[in-house]
Amino acid sequence: MAEGDPLSTHIFGVQLGGYNVESVKEVSNLTVDQDVVEYKQVTQQGKLIVRKQPGARLPGEVTITRGLDKSGAFTKWINETLNNGAINTARQNLTIEVKDTTGATLRRIQLMNAWASRWEGPTLTAGESSPATETVTIVFEEITVE
């Protein structure tokens, strides 16, 4: 890989606990928000000042699109919350690794206490030649970027 050219490829992997998630097509909408606290005060001269400061960090979410395959671990994890309502056992750590062309990890994004909040099934159209994919929205409580 050429020096200073980190955008030359899209090689990445997703791990759920100790399992690799197979057939991942896309990881998108990775967002983390923080509240903004606004307060107003008046100076000694009577001038209004509006100040802003960071508030609480809100839980984030990410969307994973993957092919339908026979991977049981990821599907079982999705079912823990969406079908069984077992949020306490479903909370897992999810790791996204961005890699260079040699396979070395450039960045590791760890999402703690993650669980599936939404599942979208494949769009099936007669005569269509594109692969069937599922989309899963995952919420998480903490994020660490290394």
Residue 93 belongs to some domain of the structure: yes
Contacts of 82 (CB under 8 A, 6+ apart): 116, 119
Counted domains in the chain:
1
Q: What are phi and psi of 87, to 5 degrees?
A: -65, -35
Rounded average pLDDT per 10-residue block, the chain, 146 residues: 58 87 91 92 94 92 89 84 84 92 89 94 88 93 92
pTM of this structure: 0.80
Residue 5 belongs to some domain of the structure: no
Residue 2 belongs to some domain of the structure: no
Residue 67 belongs to some domain of the structure: yes
Range of the domain at 59: 11-145
Task: Give dist(CA 15, CA 93) in Å, integer.
Answer: 8
Residue 85 belongs to some domain of the structure: yes
CATH number at residue 80: 2.30.110.20
